Amino acid sequence: MSAAVPTAASQATPVADLLREIRFAERHVPGAFDPRRLTDIQWRADACTPGSILCFQCLDDGRDDAERYRRYLAERPFAALVINRRMDCFDALTEKAIFVTRPGDYGRAVARLCDAFHPLPMGHWRIAAVTGTNGKTTTIKYLESMLVAAGERVLSVGTLGLSLDGVDQGVTGFTSPPLVELRRLLAEYQDRADVLLTEASSHALDQGRLAGLRFDAAGWTNFSVDHLDYHATEEAYFAAKARILEQLAEATPLLVSSADVEARLRRLHPDAPLVPPPAAELRPDALAERPFLSLAYNRANYALALALALAIRPDLPTRPWRALTAVDGRFETFVYGNRTVVVDFAHTPDALENVLHAIRDAFPGAHLTALFGCGGNRDRCKRPLMGAAVCAHADHVILTSDNPRFEDPDAIIADTRAGMAGCADEPSIIVDRADAIAALFDRLAAAPADQVQVALIAGKGHERSIDRNGEKTYFSDQDEVARNAARLGWSAS
């Protein structure tokens, strides 16, 4: 991604007027502060200039104010700080203007300030957003493909990074970038795109990263337990996702693929405009040309994407499914004779259930080996549930490491093992992921030649690194598949 370039504040509403108009909970303004000299808005302290407004959101991440001050604020050259709560370090920032937003108002305040530096042209962007525990990325990529095929100029933001008309523009490091970064991107690409497609993660909706945007089309794929390390409770996680309702444009329904989600939303928001997407007609020729649409959850993702696409562009080409391609790391298959290896991003109990069911449906009677791990420094409660999901469907399980982050991989594996009493046989424990994949291929090679074998490598999908002790090192499940196939002399079918 290119670095942000300081921009004069005079191109839209003057920032001085906005700072006066926004109702902050607290203001600490030194006498020498002149808002007319503010030149840019930033979300990273290390990108600030002496004329910067720094937008800084304190989250419950285990750091205290003293550490936040040392790490992010001390000796930084910004002129003004916009922050979501009072910090103990304000006495050390007497030369800075400080604006503390009211509870729950941080996103709206930052969106208003972005209007001074990265204004949104009136009526320019048509925006579609998708939330849900699983399927957001696939739905957005299907939607992108159909709209591009229809001639729309499309900017897409999500787990796979940033893309323009389906062409990769680099990674942002976030499913949903911080609002200041998103607004900078919209300003950078507004001459090249008219439609914005964005994944709306629970974190983004809770933190106001999409504040100020109105969705002309919006969908919700499904819901299952995830991210409790951040949200603490399943109810809070659901409520965060439900905030997508607050950003619907006038007369825009929320398309909900899950009947359970729809029923729950109706209990909490009786007047919400909820509509299930129509079933998408797919004839045998479509499934023959796009075999990934044979999977039930991909058909559901396609149905939602098609309904969203029609809301943005009612005159889609006939047979819109012909625009689709398989999504990186989502049921990505490698076939070697009667052995099939599936690489998938599944990293929740529900996602593992779905992909394992799909494999059983697609390969009835096959011997199924599943390799997976659980991420570190994330909600621990889902680990045994993931273990139980895999054991319920696989003939053999290889338990390995995923992104341990700052946790001991052996401790993560122990948490996961707690749910694996129902395995068909004793799971193989191989902590190093590369070694685990090599062992998986050795098992496939040792199996009877006439036995149909399917192996699932789950958890990383599109990711190309392992996060360990604060350092990301290159790692690709797909590369390991290719390396081990070559080692054994297998050619792809």
Average pLDDT for 44-59: 96
> 315-341 pLDDT, tens per residue?
999 999 999 998 989 999 999 999 999
In this structure, the number of other CB atoms found within 10 A of the CB of residue 210 comes to 27
Instruction: Write down the CATH number for the domain with range 126-323.
Output: 3.40.1190.10
Rounded Cα gap, residues 317 and 150, in angstroms: 6
Average pLDDT for 86-93: 95
Dihedral sign computed on CA atoms, order 270, 271, 272, 276: positive
Q: Which residue has the higher pLDDT, 13 or 427?
A: 427
Please state, for a pLDDT cut of 90, what percent of the chain lies above it: 88
> 16-33 pLDDT, tens per residue?
999 999 999 999 999 999
Per-residue pLDDT band at 311 (split at 50, 70, 90): very high
Alpha-helical segments (H) within 79-233: 106-117, 136-149, 179-189, 202-207, 228-231
Average pLDDT for 115-139: 95
Per-residue pLDDT band at 493 (split at 50, 70, 90): confident
Dihedral sign computed on CA atoms, order 8, 12, 17, 19: negative
- The answer to whether residues 208 and 106 touch, using CB atoms and an 8 Å cutoff, is yes
Average pLDDT for 163-182: 93
Rounded Cα gap, residues 378 and 370, in angstroms: 22
Rounded Cα gap, residues 330 and 74, in angstroms: 43
Rounded Cα gap, residues 418 and 233, in angstroms: 21
Instruction: Write down the CATH number for the domain with range 9-117.
Output: 3.40.1390
Average pLDDT for 181-188: 97
Q: Which CATH architecture has domain 332-487?
A: Alpha-Beta Complex (3.90)
Query: Which of 45, 52, 72, 53 has its CA nearest to residue 61?
Result: 72
Per-residue pLDDT band at 2 (split at 50, 70, 90): very low
Q: Where in the chain is the domain with CATH 3.40.1390?
A: 9-117
Q: Where in the chain is the domain with CATH 3.90.190.20?
A: 332-487
Rounded Cα gap, residues 27 and 273, in angstroms: 39
pLDDT for 15: 95
> Which residue type sits at 145?
S
> 279-298 pLDDT, tens per residue?
998 999 998 899 889 889 99
What's the angle, vertex CA 60, arms to CA 58 and CA 65, rounded to 5?
A: 55
Which tokens belong to 39? 């030149």
Which tokens belong to 330? 């989502």
Dihedral sign computed on CA atoms, order 329, 331, 333, 339: positive
pLDDT for 12: 65
SS3 state at 374: coil
Dihedral sign computed on CA atoms, order 149, 153, 159, 161: positive
Per-residue pLDDT band at 229 (split at 50, 70, 90): confident
Q: What is the DSSP string of 453-486?
A: EEEEEES-TT--EEEETTEEEE--HHHHHHHHHH
